[in-house]
Structure 1
Amino acid sequence: MTPAINTAMGTREWIMLILLSLRWGGSFFFVGVAVTEMPALTIVALRVGLAAIALWCIAWAMGLRPPKQLQAWIAFLGMGLLNNVVPFTLIVWGQTQIASGLASILNATTPLFAVVVAGALLHDERATVLKIIGVALGFIGVVVMIGLPAMGQSDSTLAQLAIVGAALSYAFAGVYGRRFRTMGINPVVVAAGQVTASTLVMVPVALTVDGPLDIAGPGTEVWAAVVGLAVLSTAIAYVLYFKILELAGATNALLVTLLVPVSAILLGALFLGESLDSVHFVGMALIALGFSAIDGRLWQRRISAKV
């Protein structure tokens, strides 16, 4: 019998979540650079293809081998569609028309969808009042931190809906991905299998729609962004993602989208000389308050103390 997940995350899970946010926080930057010289579907195909190569190298170095069961590869394909093909394509296309700040706000709706989807489909991740309050506080914190003006930067409603569609797809992927825990597949193999299945889908689609890529066309900065997107924001990130999913469940794993804007802003302040304003700290405080509500332990102790 598979042991129950730990919906109240411990120190290890929180550290992994923060590390994952740093990896995914860079993805919006990498995509923003890559879309200047590469078509959207080609970027997605390169992202998953290069990530698959990196992940299988890691798997082989760890002594792990691809599963032989057809059931596992069917599951990889389903996960790849929900977690890579659909959301990556929607996000990359959306970022050709809207700014990365707005895209990250819209992407932060993922935990809102996750609470609803996981609560409806998973018996051990039912939505609670504290979870709903926590996710709402976290989302408000993201909006406060990035700024309400970002919501009006673009008149492209369709592009904004594309990012929201990606967030919904991520929510369903989080629920779907819980099956790998019961199948006993190592998170590194799950990550490698997922992006491999996505590559098999995206390469022919990209070649058909975008045509063959002129390798010499994009500049060095664009290729560096694509490699960073594939290795840092996809290969390594998905090892962390599937481990969190295995240990703490879908809702907790997808909380990372609330941390992504925090990571992006802090990285900008540390390495790009960008300033931190008081509104950033207010937003981060709201996100931290939201996380404490989702975790629930501190709030339950305060409620118990008053009773």
Structure 2
Amino acid sequence: MINQHMTRREWALLLGLSVLWGGSFFFVEVALDELAPLTLVWLRVSLAAVALWGYILLTRQPFPRKLATWLAFGTMGLLNNILPFSLIAWSQQDISAGLASILNATTPLFTVVVAGLLLPDEKMTGRKIAGTVVGFSGILLLIGLDVLAGVGDNIAAQMAMLCAAISYAFAGVYGRRFKGMQVKPVTVAAGQLAMSALILLPLMLLVDGDDFLAGHSMAVWLAIGGLAVFSTALAYFVYFRLLESVGASNLLLVTFLIPVSAITLGTVFLAETLRGSSIAGMLLIGVGMSIIDGRLWTGRRGKMHSLD
């Protein structure tokens, strides 16, 4: 069974994960200037896998030997890496990062439905649905409704982003099984990345050729390094620790926090202006997440129970 209410430490890890993943949109935009989408995804997962397996070897953690475990790693890699990473990288060639963030933030909506249907301890409730809708409304305010002006354009790219969000939802639900298989979170992260790299390699060579061997600028290699080490290896280490303890529905609330982290970092380090609508959006996201968590609303127990 999972923790229905996250602890302060788990909320801190979720916020940290949002910062790690928030940087991925920037890294992807830089790298796509010189790399094809599948090549970028393969470099991302393969370098991240090397980093995590290096950590496992240095710390002398057990190596998984069962075929069933590696098949599960392959399925997780397909749902959590190959499909969403490829779809996101392809779609970001045609839509803005702001619109991509909004579409990516539909992940909790899909997760509430998928987890509610498939997991007995993550049942879909009125409270979860209400909190998710409020949080998504905050995303729209935070990023700005003007981004939606391009919704009618590049429908294929937008559908690809939505399919990526659905894939993340199924990955979160599927990943719950590794706790029962007694596989440590860091090993799950390394295993699914390694299988992703192996599965993706022939497809990448077929579609993109040896583009990854061509000379690329230092900026692109730095972006790939940041994407692999921070936004993938370290992020997945945190991801699977949280998935084990708080479940898919709570974990994938991180997609609400990613734009918050990106805008906050831009305000602090890049002297960007924080708009009033952005502040209102952040507050609305906070309200939505508090509704899902439920503890701040215990004084209105009757209303909460009526939603559930």
Q: Identify the TM-score tier after normalising by the shorter chain.
A: over 0.9
Correspondence for 1:158: 156
Distance, in Å, in 1 between the alignment partners of 2:304 and 2:267 is 41
Distance, in Å, in 2 between the alignment partners of 1:301 and 1:66 is 48
Deviation at 1:303, TM superposition (A): 2.8
User: Which amino acid in 1 is paired with 2:240?
Assistant: F
Correspondence for 2:296: 298
Deviations 1:247-268 (A, max 9, x none): 0001011110000000111111
User: Which amino acid in 1 is paired with 2:111?
Assistant: A
Correspondence for 1:109: 106
TM-score, length-scaled by structure 1: 0.96
Deviations 1:97-144 (A, max 9, x none): 111111011000000000000000000000111111111011000011
Distance, in Å, in 2 between the alignment partners of 1:214 and 1:301 is 57
Deviation at 1:213, TM superposition (A): 2.0
1:39-188 matched pairs, under 5 angstroms = 39-153=36-150, 155-188=153-186
Distance, in Å, in 1 between the alignment partners of 2:193 and 2:304 is 50
Correspondence for 2:262: 264
Moved more, 68-77 or 210-219: 210-219
CA change 1:188–1:108 in 2 (3 A) is same
Deviation at 1:38, TM superposition (A): 0.4
Moved more, 162-171 or 197-206: 197-206
User: Which amino acid in 2 is paired with 1:79?
Assistant: M
Specify every segment of 5 or more residues in structure 1 that has no aligned partner in the other structure, as ranges: none
Deviation at 1:217, TM superposition (A): 2.6
Moved more, 84-93 or 268-277: 268-277
User: Which amino acid in 1 is paired with 2:288?
Assistant: G
Runs of 4+ with >6 A deviation: none
Matched, 1:12 2:3: no
Partner of 1:249, secondary structure, is: helix
Moved more, 156-165 or 216-225: 216-225
Specify every segment of 5 or more residues in structure 2 that has no aligned partner in the other structure, as ranges: none
Distance, in Å, in 1 between the alignment partners of 2:240 and 2:214 is 35
Q: How many residues align?
A: 304
User: Which of 233, 236, 241 matches 2:234?
Assistant: 236
Deviation at 1:203, TM superposition (A): 1.4
State percent identity of aligned pairs: 54
CA contact (8 A) 2:21 2:235 kept: yes
Correspondence for 1:250: 248
Distance, in Å, in 1 between the alignment partners of 2:230 and 2:186 is 14
Partner of 1:36, secondary structure, is: coil
Deviation at 1:6, TM superposition (A): 0.4
Q: CA RMSD in A?
A: 1.5
Correspondence for 1:35: 32
Distance, in Å, in 1 between the alignment partners of 2:304 and 2:139 is 31
Deviation at 1:305, TM superposition (A): 10
Moved more, 294-303 or 102-111: 294-303
Partner of 1:37, secondary structure, is: coil
